[in-house]
Structure 1
Amino acid sequence: MTDPVGADRSETRIHDVAIVGGGAVGLLLACLLGRRGRDVVVLERRTDPPPPGSPSRAIGVHPPGLKVLDHAGIGEAVRDRAVVIREGRVTCEGRTLGAMRFPRSGLVRSLPQREVEALLEERLGELPNVRLRRGVEVTGLRDRGTHVVVTGAAGDDEVAVPARYVVGADGVRSGIRSLIDARWRPRGRGATYVMCDTRDDTGARETALLHFEPTGVVESFPMPGGVRRYVARVRRRPSVLDAAAVAAIVEARTGQGFDTDAAGEPTAFDARQHLATPIAAGRVALVGDAAHEVSPIGGQGMNLGWMAAQHLDHELDAALAAGAPLDAFAGYERVRRAAATRAMRQAAFNMRMGAPVTGLRLRVRNASVRLLGLPPARSVLARAFTMRWL
């Protein structure tokens, strides 16, 4: 259930788990624990969920992530609302370098993160032992030995929430990460991209189109409602960012623009990679973007967070059944760090493949793409693209 802002601020009951952050990963973990009958409270800074039509960077639901959503009870609803991506096609200067058709068991689905979050919040409302408290700004953690007290504020009111375990699911700018003194270490180089959603006029409603052009990659993906998302790598953020600017980049590289009148508000973002050290400390664990920032190129971040939430669900349930010991997260730390490292390597590879390149390097890159599109490398690449290797 969801509590209105202003509802009872301080508590004496010790919850099983307090989750800080009510995004896609925090809500999923709450649903997973809630279906086990665990007493869970979710503390979310935002007073309201994202409104319909608001920007949503993450859209890819990969097969392993969908399985986790099945466990949470929203998998079928996601399937009903999402667009299926059955194949990917790579081109350069008008020539096809390779194509990949995904097996039925490995289909990727496209659904904006805000819609997944809405389904998760609806599911959470069906679980009487799980509460979502909005408008809570968490500012501190007090270790009491047998439990942790999460402190903060909701408006002018102080908040104190005791819980046997605390999970920071509060995103890239995680306050919980700072409170456990975890370092935020960069991994590799970043890159800048512009993104815009518009009407899909490509005629390729179930195909991801990847244009590996000499001046930088342009990717486009189908979305629900006859919409297509365009993402283009740029050397620097445009001084004027509007739909016409993004369409001009797309047309200059691919020869085909898009309808700017049907386009939404474009955004620019920097794709960076970081890993928290440690991911867990005492009774507190990090999950999702709070634990690792993975480049969105390749669509791995949200799904990686869901898979970590599933792992954490098992670890927390076992620890609570064993009397809530202090060292509950040793295995979680080891496994999730390894998984995040693999995901970052793949994301770094994706960014390198889409970097501007000319001359001999361009010819080598294109030859490599052609080889990756042939058996047996094609099946390996398909597993990597759909995250079935994690």
Structure 2
Amino acid sequence: MHDQSSLPYDVVVAGAGPVGLFLACELRLAGLHVLVLEQARDPHSALKQLPFGLRGLSVPTLEAFHRRGLLEEIEAAQQRASGAIKSAAHWMQQTRRPAGHFAGIQFYQDAIDAVKWPWRLPTPADANVAVDMETLESVLAARACSLGVEIRCGLGVNAITASDNEVSIEAAGETFRGRWLVGCDGGRSTVRKLSGFDFVGTDPEFTGYSVEIELADPEKLRPGRNYTPAGMYTYAQPGTIAMVDFDGGAFHRTGPITREHVQSVLRNVSGTDVTINALRLAATWTDRAHQATTYRKGHVLLAGDAAHIHSPLGGQGLNLGLDDAMNLGWKLAATIRRQAPADLLDTYSRERHPVGAQILDWSRAQVAIMRPTPSARALQAIIRDIVETRDGATYFAERVRGVSLRYDLGNGHPLVGRSVPDFELLDGTTAGERLRTARGILLDFDARAPLQALASRWGGRIDYVADEPKDRLSLSAVLVRPDGIVAWASDGAPDHEEAAQAASRWFGDSTAARECP
């Protein structure tokens, strides 16, 4: 049983954005006492709403939401706003169904060869879901509150004192104590800075603009995404524009964004003498790409933009952060409950840091072919030819949608380290639905007594499921971590000792759960 310590909170999460809220939900599923501190007094922002707040969700993110029973709520919200989303997303108005883009170069669903993904089965997580940030935050906040997460707004972290056993956090004149602190407080993370994390990477090449304007002569701009000799702009009628100006990021957060300035940049990038009558909303961003060298220092951890920042090209930043939360939540909970091997929490940084580094490089590669230079234009032409091939479109879809994600968990079955296929069992449930308790599962497709006995040794940490799936993909048994990642798999007579070693590796001592001090 989990014995609450004298500390008020098991975990304090800084930041009530999607990453912080989703992490808090994961921790509450394990029965931990969680406090979320949010600097903003009011979570609402026009930049979180359509059109600027629109985000596409990757396969790992959709799988995470499916495995926690959140996907249906998010899809319902998406359906209610489907008309507004389609209007905001210019790519949804195409005759071919888009599957993503690389630096604005579109690839399409009908060109993808899913046969090359042998470890995937049909799943609700295959849906093409785009949602605005405000809606996503409201769904996650409602779930967090229903689980008993305490959320306090208007309390930005301004001081941290960490020891070997706890963290003391000062926020707006109040002091909070917890065993652990997780910084989910964005790219300018106060938690990261106060805790002394190294944050390294590359400086920006451009200033990006997201603006809502009223044009005197909209016919001078071509709708959709356009490359020009000076940069790139995307125009959605009547007046939504995203554009990049290769100025080395010089204008980002250096001065007020005026109508005159935006008009000057737009004229330069578009190569027209277009006139802006009114500037209604504006924000800037850059392609600065930095990453913490580790995601853990003692009892302080980082997730989401606090751990890694890059340009929003391709919309992968939100997904990267949500997947951080899914990976971290069960590991931190098991560590606090003393139901984990000694190094379990260290695997969070070991697994997620390479994924973040890969996304940062993916972002840098997109910037490289967006530059307004002859060599970049030549590379664009090559990429366009590649994405029109079946192998090319499949490769880009794997990377953009996260289908190819695999953690290096050592030698073993080729499914180990990958997302568990969403096996549809004869009892009507799926593997994804079986993960909603945030416990591990041992899928035994041949109902072998030794495997049932093995699962029982881990008490309430591993659920034993003996059922025949409609498609077993030639497998006989699969051990799945709480985050849906396969820890062990067998396609023949199971090696029970090997299965036990894998269970011990991820779920700790097989004796009854020990109490926390």
TM-score greater than 0.5 by the shorter chain: yes
Counterpart in the other structure of 2:72: 76
After TM superposition, the structure 1 = structure 2 runs for residues 97-112 of structure 1, keeping only pairs within 5 Å, are 99-101=107-109, 106=126, 108-112=128-132
| Separation (CA, whole Å) in 2 of partners of 1:273 and 1:191 | 12
In the alignment, is the contact (CA less than 8 A) between 1:97 and 1:366 conserved in 2?
A: no
Give how far 1:47 is off: 1.8
Secondary structure of the residue aligned to 1:285 is strand
| Separation (CA, whole Å) in 2 of partners of 1:70 and 1:242 | 44
- Matched AA of 1:119: V
| Separation (CA, whole Å) in 2 of partners of 1:133 and 1:107 | 34
- Matched AA of 2:65: L
| Separation (CA, whole Å) in 2 of partners of 1:121 and 1:97 | 35
Give how far 1:35 is off: 2.6
Give how far 1:332 is off: 0.9
| CA pair 249-99 structure 1, distance change in 2 beyond 3 A | farther
Deviations 1:295-339 (A, max 9, x none): 211111111000010000121122123268885531111111100
Counterpart in the other structure of 1:44: 38
Size of the aligned set, in residue pairs, is 357
Q: Percent identity?
A: 24
Deviations 1:25-49 (A, max 9, x none): 1011111222332221111122221
Matched, 1:266 2:275: no
Give how far 1:228 is off: 8.6
In the alignment, is the contact (CA less than 8 A) between 1:216 and 1:357 conserved in 2?
A: no
Matched, 1:143 2:151: no
Quote the RMSD (CA, aligned, Å). 3.7
Give how far 1:361 is off: 5.0
**Which deviates the most, 271-280 or 66-75?**
66-75
| CA pair 89-111 structure 1, distance change in 2 beyond 3 A | closer
Give how far 1:144 is off: 4.3
After TM superposition, the structure 1 = structure 2 runs for residues 1-390 of structure 1, keeping only pairs within 5 Å, are 13-51=7-45, 56=52, 59-82=55-78, 83=85, 85=92, 86-87=97-98, 99-101=107-109, 106=126, 108-128=128-148, 130-145=149-164, 147-154=165-172, 157-161=173-177, 163-187=178-202, 189-197=204-212, 209-219=224-234, 230-236=241-247, 237=251, 240=259, 248=267, 252=271, 264-322=280-338, 329-358=345-374, 362-390=377-405
Give how far 1:125 is off: 1.6
Deviations 1:177-209 (A, max 9, x none): 12321111123653221113579xx9xxxxx95
Secondary structure of the residue aligned to 2:36 is strand
| CA pair 370-322 structure 1, distance change in 2 beyond 3 A | same
| Separation (CA, whole Å) in 1 of partners of 2:302 and 2:102 | 39
**Which deviates the most, 307-316 or 317-326?**
317-326
| Separation (CA, whole Å) in 2 of partners of 1:245 and 1:74 | 44
In the alignment, is the contact (CA less than 8 A) between 1:243 and 1:260 conserved in 2?
A: no
Higher strand share: 1
| CA pair 241-30 structure 1, distance change in 2 beyond 3 A | farther
| Separation (CA, whole Å) in 1 of partners of 2:109 and 2:24 | 35
In the alignment, is the contact (CA less than 8 A) between 1:15 and 1:40 conserved in 2?
A: yes
Give how far 1:12 is off: 5.6
| Separation (CA, whole Å) in 2 of partners of 1:218 and 1:87 | 19
> Which runs of no fewer than 5 residues in structure 2 stay unpaired?
79-84, 87-91, 113-123, 252-256, 406-517
| Separation (CA, whole Å) in 1 of partners of 2:106 and 2:158 | 50
In the alignment, is the contact (CA less than 8 A) between 1:108 and 1:386 conserved in 2?
A: no
Counterpart in the other structure of 2:467: none
In the alignment, is the contact (CA less than 8 A) between 2:107 and 2:387 conserved in 1?
A: no
| CA pair 229-276 structure 1, distance change in 2 beyond 3 A | farther
Secondary structure of the residue aligned to 2:152 is strand
| Separation (CA, whole Å) in 2 of partners of 1:69 and 1:355 | 36
Q: Could you say which structure has the greater relative contact order, defined with CA pairs below 8 angstroms and 6 or more residues apart?
A: 1
> Which runs of no fewer than 5 residues in structure 1 stay unpaired?
1-10, 203-207
**Which deviates the most, 65-74 or 52-61?**
52-61
| Separation (CA, whole Å) in 2 of partners of 1:68 and 1:290 | 20
| Separation (CA, whole Å) in 2 of partners of 1:25 and 1:347 | 20
Structure of greater Rg: 2
| Separation (CA, whole Å) in 2 of partners of 1:32 and 1:258 | 49
Secondary structure of the residue aligned to 2:313 is coil
| Separation (CA, whole Å) in 2 of partners of 1:40 and 1:91 | 38
| CA pair 285-105 structure 1, distance change in 2 beyond 3 A | closer
